[in-house]
């Protein structure tokens, strides 16, 4: 089945530094990937839609200069949290759609990244 690898699974960084999270589709091509943020015991909130070879589309209220998204290939999207602050601490999850699959197949999710900013 389709597999999405997300790395790192957890990271601790100092306030003011930047952190990069990678999302890779291992056995399929993903023209579109999605980045979600999940607060403890809360739902997944869509942050942005990452499109291969073009700029990401951000949801209202999400700072595009803080959360930089790059989707340079059909198998890799990255989310960089720039100048991280403690309020950016959260669980970040990516998902990917198989470009060759029907829409009703849903998406495959990465295992998530727990970011803690100290």
Partner 1 sequence: AQTVTQSQPEMSVQEAETVTLSCTYDTSENNYYLFWYKQPPSRQMILVIRQEAYKQQNATENRFSVNFQKAAKSFSLKISDSQLGDTAMYFCAFMKNNNNDMRFGAGTRLTVKP
Determine how many CB atoms are found less than 10 A away from the CB of residue 109. Answer: 17
The CB-of-13 to partner 1 minimum distance in angstroms stands at: 20
Give the C-alpha separation, 56 to 11, whole Å: 24
Nearer to partner 1, 38 or 116 (CB): 38
Give the C-alpha separation, 23 to 18, whole Å: 17
Give the C-alpha separation, 61 to 82, whole Å: 16
The CB-of-52 to partner 1 minimum distance in angstroms stands at: 12
Nearer to partner 1, 62 or 82 (CB): 62
The CB-of-49 to partner 1 minimum distance in angstroms stands at: 6
In DSSP terms, 116 is beta-bridged to 12
Nearer to partner 1, 27 or 105 (CB): 105
The CB-of-16 to partner 1 minimum distance in angstroms stands at: 27
96, 80, 95: which is closest to 38 by C-alpha? 95
Enumerate binding residues for partner 1 (CB under 8 A).
32, 34, 38, 41-44, 46, 49, 91, 93, 95, 97, 103-107, 109, 111-112
């Amino acid at each position: 089945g389709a597999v999405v690898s997300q790395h790192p699974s957890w990271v601790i960084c100092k306030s003011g530094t930047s952190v990069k999270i990678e999302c890779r589709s291992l056995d399929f091509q993903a023209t579109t990937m999605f980045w979600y943020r999940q607060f403890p015991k809360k739902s997944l909130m869509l942050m942005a839609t990452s499109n291969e070879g073009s700029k990401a589309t951000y949801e209202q209220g999400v700072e595009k200069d803080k959360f930089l998204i790059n989707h340079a290939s059909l198998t890799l999207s990255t989310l960089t949290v720039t100048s991280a602050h403690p309020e950016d601490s959260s669980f970040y999850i990516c998902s990917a759609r198989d470009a060759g699959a029907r829409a009703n197949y849903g998406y495959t999710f990465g295992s998530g990244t727990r970011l803690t900013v100290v």
